[in-house]
């Protein structure tokens, strides 16, 4: 089977973590389902923005475009990437890009068929732009497509018109042979707009990258890893720590990641008198993350909304109990055997949950947590579901 993968987001030089879950899922399919050749369509996702109001940066981006080679096909075995460069003014200028997105992905699709033979199935990740482009390619080349939605929130506010998703998103869902949501809450949200409810297949985590282990610290270590934005609720985390006011000699709170609110939250921690308990780790690479999970006792992230939350699954792969909020994805991941849930924006409840977990983290079995993870979110568990769906679609086609 030739599977043409169309990712709206994908790791790049400028955004190495963007869409990493899409890349890892595709790599898992290629590694486990050895009769499926995965061909990823790339056009510079993450590197190709053209900021027209920032002339120096715009000139750099034009230089990027001129330096790129065309019709690049790279890979081996059953994992391949096809690349042609395309600049993007802004994802908010939607209709001006539809023709451009279609042209570059049509070229990539044709290259894939020239090199590997007929494409059997398209798998698009995120309804706009990839899902919409998949619908056009499907019609043009008579190939069915699967759509997986990841947006958080769904849809992004700038993709709404008059209380409804833009027509391109509607088309992406309505013409798909099958739609997938990464959590039940996201499936319900998609269905609320009148589209067929997507089936739920979660994101996966490469279990081989994460291991069980105990931290060396004599303190109880809480760990948070995320893009530091308002969505992730770091301000509530700091307020909850201040409300608890645990002694610095016994507790440490490590926050990894970077983002637009980092400086403001660091200032807030200072103002709350938490400088001796909160440790800011800065940007964390994919390779660094597993060791940081080992070095903590508890993972906590009180997000305002999550469609899934891959980092929660990574914590489970490391055998760590979790504190999270009922904000969509966590309800699908966290249960009584692996953590605690509190309501969004409920700082006192968050503070109390942290105090309770500090006393009882050792009651959670790392091996049980890991086993539950492997049954639900491991590469084998998720690829098995995807393969069954692909075969179901091709039998009907």
pTM: 0.89
Helices (H), 71-183: 95-116, 132-141, 167-174
Query: What's the mean pLDDT in 230-259?
Result: 98
Q: Is the peptide bond preceding residue 129 cis, with omega within 30 degrees of 0? A: yes
pLDDT of the residue at 51: 52
**Confidence class of residue 69 from pLDDT cuts 50, 70 and 90?**
low
Per-residue pLDDT of 278-333, as tens digits, reads 999 999 999 999 999 999 999 999 999 999 999 999 999 999 999 999 999 999 99
Question: How far is residue 123's CA from residue 128's CA, in Å, rounded to a whole number?
Answer: 13
Instruction: Give percent above pLDDT 70 in the chain.
Output: 91
Q: What is the pLDDT of residues 95-127, one digit of tens each?
A: 456 778 899 999 999 999 999 999 999 999 999
**Whether residue 153 has a cis bond before it, omega within 30° of 0:** yes
Question: Please, what CATH class does the domain formed by 207-376 belong to?
Answer: alpha beta
Please give the average per-residue pLDDT across 34-54, as a whole number.
Answer: 75
Looking at residue 272, its pLDDT comes to: 98
Q: Report the pLDDT value the prediction gives residue 19, as an integer from 0 to 100.
A: 83
The CATH superfamily assigned to 2-204+378-396 is Glycogen Phosphorylase B; (3.40.50.2000)
Q: Give the tokens for residue 366.
A: 């790392």
For 55-68, write each residue's pLDDT tens digit: 565 556 545 454 55
**199-200 vs 37-42, strand pairing mode:** unpaired
State the pLDDT at residue 95: 47
Overall average pLDDT of the 58-84 stretch: 72
Task: Tell me which H or E stretch contains 325.
Answer: strand 322-325
Q: Where in the chain is the domain with CATH 3.40.50.2000?
A: 2-204+378-396, 207-376
**C-beta atoms surrounding 176 within 10 Å:** 25
């Amino acid at each position: 089977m030739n599977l043409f993968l169309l990712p709206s987001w994908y790791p790049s030089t400028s955004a190495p973590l963007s869409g990493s879950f899409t890349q890892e899922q595709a790599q898992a399919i290629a590694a486990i389902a050895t009769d499926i050749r995965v061909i990823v369509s790339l056009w510079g996702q993450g590197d190709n923005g053209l900021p027209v109001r920032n002339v120096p940066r715009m000139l750099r981006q034009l230089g990027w475009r001129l330096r790129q080679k065309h019709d690049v096909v790279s890979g081996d075995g059953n994992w391949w990437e096809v690349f042609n460069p395309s600049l993007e003014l802004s994802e908010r200028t939607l209709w001006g890009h539809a023709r451009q997105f279609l042209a570059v992905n049509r070229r990539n699709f044709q290259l894939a068929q020239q090199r590997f033979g007929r494409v059997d199935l398209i798998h698009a990740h995120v309804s706009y732009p990839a899902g919409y482009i998949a619908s056009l390619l499907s019609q043009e080349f008579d190939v069915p497509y699967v759509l997986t939605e990841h947006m958080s929130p769904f849809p992004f506010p700038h993709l709404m018109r008059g209380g409804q998703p833009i027509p391109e998103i509607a088309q992406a869902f309505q013409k798909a042979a099958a739609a997938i949501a990464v959590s039940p809450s996201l499936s319900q949200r998609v269905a609320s707009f009148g589209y067929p409810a997507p089936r739920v297949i979660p994101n996966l985590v490469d279990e081989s990258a994460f291991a069980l282990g105990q931290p060396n610290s004599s303190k109880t270590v809480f760990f948070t890893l995320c893009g530091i934005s308002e969505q992730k609720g770091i301000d509530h985390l700091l307020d909850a720590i201040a409300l608890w006011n645990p002694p610095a000699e016994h507790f440490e709170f490590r926050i990894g990641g970077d983002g637009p609110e980092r400086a403001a939250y660091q200032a807030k921690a200072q103002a709350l008198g938490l400088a001796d308990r909160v440790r800011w780790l800065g940007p964390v690479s994919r390779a660094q993350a597993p060791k940081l999970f080992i070095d903590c006792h508890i993972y906590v992230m009180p997000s305002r909304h999550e469609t899934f939350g891959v980092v929660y699954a990574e914590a489970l792969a490391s055998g760590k109990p979790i504190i999270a909020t009922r904000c969509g994805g966590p309800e699908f991941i966290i249960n009584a055997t692996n953590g605690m849930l509190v309501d969004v924006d409920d700082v006192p409840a968050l503070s109390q949950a942290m105090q309770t977990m500090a006393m009882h983290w050792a009651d959670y079995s790392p091996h049980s947590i890991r086993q539950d993870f492997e049954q639900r979110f491991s590469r084998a568990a998720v690829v098995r579901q995807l393969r069954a769906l692909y075969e179901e679609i091709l039998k009907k086609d």
